[in-house]
């Protein structure tokens, strides 16, 4: 009598798609971010940066839910109103390695006390499933590939919609602000910076 052998593929080696919305492990592990200090709390300025960002990153789709695949839900407008309604906007984006992964953005509204931030991110879970190496012996997550790619997205965004500061890296939103830097690029950088000086945006890559 034949005996069925159940050893073909261990469960922890199942291939996962880094572009799948329903696979909640794609959304785990924190965010690798391009966080932009918009410089005001005006809806119109936030909308301008959001629209320019979505175009610069060439995001596929715009959706309010991450528990349904894109084909299982209606797209939503890429607007400040949608951000207010859903909290995050989600899509798919192609990495420089040509892998399609989930991505998202969230706004941190400053109100009267300070300006808004807009964070564009790819979760580490999706980067893991895409096979992107982002650990290089540093005591924190870093990927030169992601840094340079996000810097290029930020630079393209700035051409259409200016912002006060961009910071790039793992969970970097709010780690500093434009008023603290006062127009001076830090010499020692644990993260990436996109710093406007006049009408020119300068990129300072992480160097420590």
96-154 confidence digits (pLDDT tens): 999 999 999 999 987 656 679 999 999 999 999 999 876 655 556 788 899 999 999 99
Average confidence (pLDDT) over 72-89? 97
What would the pLDDT profile of 7-22 be if each residue is shown by its tens digit? Answer: 333 334 456 899 999 9
pTM: 0.89
Residue 39 — pLDDT band, cuts 50, 70, 90? confident
What would the pLDDT profile of 46-63 be if each residue is shown by its tens digit? Answer: 999 999 999 999 999 999
Question: Which residue in 205, 207, 171 sits closest to 33, CA to CA?
Answer: 171
What would the pLDDT profile of 151-186 be if each residue is shown by its tens digit? Answer: 999 999 999 999 999 999 999 988 899 999 999 999
Per the DSSP assignment, residues forming a β-bridge with 195 are 202
**Three-state SS for 204?**
strand
Question: Which residue in 56, 102, 62 sits closest to 81, CA to CA?
Answer: 62
CA angle 30/35/36 to nearest 5° reads 165
The reported pLDDT for the residue numbered 142 is: 84
Question: Which residue in 54, 53, 63, 79 sits closest to 19, CA to CA?
Answer: 63
């Amino acid at each position: 009598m034949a005996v069925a052998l159940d050893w073909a593929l261990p469960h922890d080696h199942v291939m996962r798609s880094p572009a799948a919305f329903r696979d909640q492990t794609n959304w785990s592990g924190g965010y690798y971010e391009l966080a932009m200090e918009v410089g005001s709390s005006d809806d119109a300025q936030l909308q301008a940066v959001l629209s320019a960002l979505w175009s610069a990153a060439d995001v596929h789709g715009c959706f309010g839910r991450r528990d349904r695949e894109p084909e299982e839900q209606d797209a939503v407008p890429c607007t400040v109103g949608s951000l207010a309604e859903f909290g995050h906007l989600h899509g798919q984006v192609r990495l420089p390695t040509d892998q399609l992964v989930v991505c998202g953005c969230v706004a941190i509204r400053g109100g009267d006390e300070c300006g808004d931030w807009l964070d564009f991110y790819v979760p580490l879970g999706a980067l893991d499933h895409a096979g992107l190496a982002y650990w290089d012996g540093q005591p924190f997550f870093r990927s030169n590939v992601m840094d340079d790619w996000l810097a290029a997205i930020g630079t393209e965004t700035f051409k259409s919609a200016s912002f006060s500061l961009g910071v790039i890296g793992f969970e970097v939103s709010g780690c500093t602000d434009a008023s603290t830097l006062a127009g001076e690029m830090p010499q020692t950088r644990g993260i990436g910076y996109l710093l406007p000086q006049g009408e020119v945006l300068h990129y300072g890559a992480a160097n420590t």
